[in-house]
Amino acid sequence: MATDTSGFDEGNEQERAPEGGGGGGGLGGFAVGVVFGAFLGAGIALLFAPERGEKTRRRLRHRLRSLRDEAGDQLERAGKRTGRDLLRRRRRLEAGLERAASRAKDVF
């Protein structure tokens, strides 16, 4: 029988990562990367900002108002549509109940 000299331990089939969490840096490395990315992104945004702050804020306020108004209109339409649908279903249910009551009278 030949002896295996590769150093593979048959009892321990999984390779172990070196101590110290090697292989990616763990959660601490991720957090540092996120913070670094946020600062880098903010710096680039400031460098390439096309307008002054007041003009951008004014534009954002206008856009937010129009989105709010549009959302309100959509909610109002959805409410009316839901009300009509509920009324239609209620009438259909009442008609079904009347038919069932009529059939029950005929049977008894």
Could you report the per-residue pLDDT of 20-39, keeping only the tens digit for each?
444 445 667 888 888 888 88
Q: Which residue has the tokens 């600062």?
A: 39
Q: Which of 32-36, 58-62, 83-87 is modeled with the greatest confidence?
A: 83-87
* pLDDT-derived band at 44, boundaries 50, 70, 90: confident
| Stated pTM of the model | 0.41
Please classify residue 32 by burial: count the beta carbons closer than 10 Å to its beta carbon, then call 0-12 exposed, 13-18 middle and 19+ buried. exposed
Dist. CA 55–CA 63, nearest whole Å: 12
Average pLDDT, rounded, for the chain: 78
SS3 108: coil
* pLDDT-derived band at 3, boundaries 50, 70, 90: low
51 Cβ contact list (under 8 Å, min separation 6) = 59
Handedness of CA 92, 97, 102, 107 (dihedral sign): positive
How confident is the model at residue 94, as a pLDDT? Answer: 96
